[in-house]
Amino acid sequence: MTKDLLDMVEERIRVGVTTNEIDEWVHRETLSRGAVPAPLNYGRGQGRDGIPFPKSICTSLNEVICHGIPNNHALQNGDILNVDVTCDYLGFFGDASRMFIIGEVPERTRELVEVTRECLNLGIEQVRPNNQLGDIGHAIQKHAENQDFSVVRDFAGHGVGIEFHEAPQVLHYGEPGMGEVLRENMIFTIEPMINIGGYECEVLDDGWTAVTKDGTLSAQWEHTLLVTSSGVEVLTA
């Protein structure tokens, strides 16, 4: 379902569309399929004055790393946008995000988006029984840093299933042969957040929106994965 929702966004997104409009599209379509948008009202006590997340999706624009809140900002030529969709369907959660390039962007910006997607795919290649979480993080970190990008440390992938966020925590950096051993039937996300500048971030006063500390661009791609007996199944592909 998350793939279908992101495909819908890809068909409609363009210069002039607001992130609130994207949120409304996904909200309506999610409900029409008998599911619930999991971010809406998630995390009571976390936002400013304890306010839970107020929208149905996260829209992270340009220097926003993650957890951007949809608003009336109209997309402009040269923007990059991550749309993060999580659905609760019959008590089971699926989580995916995708980058969108709006109009024309500099070559380095396009490289950021593409390298981040490559990082996700390299991480997925490490998912199989008896590998370890550090193998995933190392593959991502090595590729990003080889292209002179940085890997965000403050946010990670996570287990997902009957809860929005479960164990294990899936770091996008690390050393091979370290961390929890992967076992058949584990389900978790890989969602590398890669920056053009430094990896440091800060959270805005709304208590949710995480941005790059140096104001440089950030990109993210995400899939939900199942460890199978012989490797991996990408549940949100």
Q: 73-127 pLDDT, tens per residue?
A: 999 999 999 999 999 999 999 999 999 999 999 999 999 999 999 999 999 999 9
How many CB atoms lie under 10 A from the CB of residue 71? 14
| Cα(147)–Cα(112) distance, integer angstroms | 9
The chain-wide mean pLDDT, for the chain, equals: 96
Q: What number of residues does the chain have?
A: 237
- Spatial neighbors of 45 by CB under 8 A, at least 6 apart, are 52
Query: Which residue ranges form the domains of the chain, and what is each CATH number?
Result: 2-234 (3.90.230.10)
pLDDT surpassing 90 at residue 50: no
DSSP state of 211: E
Strand 166-170: give its sheet, edge to edge.
166-170, 157-159, 187-190, 223-227, 232-234
| Residue showing tokens 């957890």 | 67
Q: What percent of the chain has pLDDT over 90?
A: 95
Per-residue pLDDT band for 51 (boundaries 50, 70, 90) equals confident
Buried b / exposed e along 4-35 (16+ C-beta atoms within 10 A): ebbeebeeebeeebebbbbbebbbebbeeeeb
Looking at the DSSP bridge assignments, the partners of residue 224 are 189
pLDDT surpassing 80 at residue 213: yes
Give the residue among 180, 1, 192 at the shortest CA–CA distance from 92.
1
Mean pLDDT for the stretch of residues 18-30: 98
Residue 182 in 3-state DSSP? coil
| Cα(64)–Cα(100) distance, integer angstroms | 14
Over the stretch 118-144, which tens digit does the pLDDT of each residue have? 999 999 999 999 999 999 999 999 999
